[in-house]
Amino acid sequence: MSSRSSKSNQNRSDDGSGSRSSNSHGNELGRCNCGIQLEVMTEWTVDNPGRRYEACPNYKMPSSCGFFRWIDEEMCSRSKHLIPELIRDKNNLELTLITEQAKLKCVQAVMERQGKALGHQRSLDERLNTVLAAQRDLTLHLGLCE
C-alpha cells in the first residue's frame, strides 16, 4: 500500500519505505517553522499503515521549512502485517455486503410483484366463488321450481 490521506487531501511523498526524517524544531502550538498551522495526516505505506503524523502544509514546495513529526509511535512488525490484512478483509466484507444488499433488493422487488399477483388472483378466486355460489343457488332454485 502506498496511499495516504490528510485533512486537506494533499498527498505527501516519501522514498517508498514509509520512513521519514524528523525535523522537530516546530513549536508545540501546532505550527511549523513557517508559522503555518500543521496538518495532521495518516500514512498508509506498508511500513506505517495508519500511522499519523503532522507536517508543514508546504511540505512538497521548495519554500517549505521541512517540518515533519510523527504523532503515533512506530508499530511492531505484527501490527504492520496485520493492519493491511484487516483492511483488506474489511473492504472485502463491505463489497460482499453491498452485493448482498443489491440481491436482497431484487428479491424484495420480485416478492412485491408476486404479492400483487397473488392479491389479484385472490380477487379473481373470490369473484369466481361468488359466481359459483350464485349458480348453485340458481340451480337449486330452478330444481325446486320443477
CB 53 within 8 A of CB 43: yes
Predicted pLDDT at 3: 44
Co-location of 71 and 81 in the same domain: no
Average pLDDT per consecutive 10 residues, the chain (146 residues; last block may be shorter): 41 40 53 90 91 91 90 94 93 98 96 90 90 87 74
32: left (phi over 0), alpha (psi -120 to 50) or beta: beta
Domain count, the chain: 2
Closest CA to 8 of 40, 54, 45: 40
* 61 in the same domain as 24: yes
Are residues 102 and 71 located together in one domain of the fold? no
Give yes or no: residues 103 and 51 share one domain.
no
**Per-residue pLDDT, 18:** 43
Asked if residue 71 and residue 10 are part of one domain, the reply reads: yes
Same domain, 87 and 101: yes
In 3D space, the residue among 28, 17, 22, 29 whose CA is nearest the CA of residue 65 turns out to be 22
Domain span including residue 30: 1-75
- Residue 6, pLDDT score: 41
Q: How far apart are CA 49 and CA 86, in angstroms?
A: 11
- Last residue of a domain, which of 18, 50, 75? 75
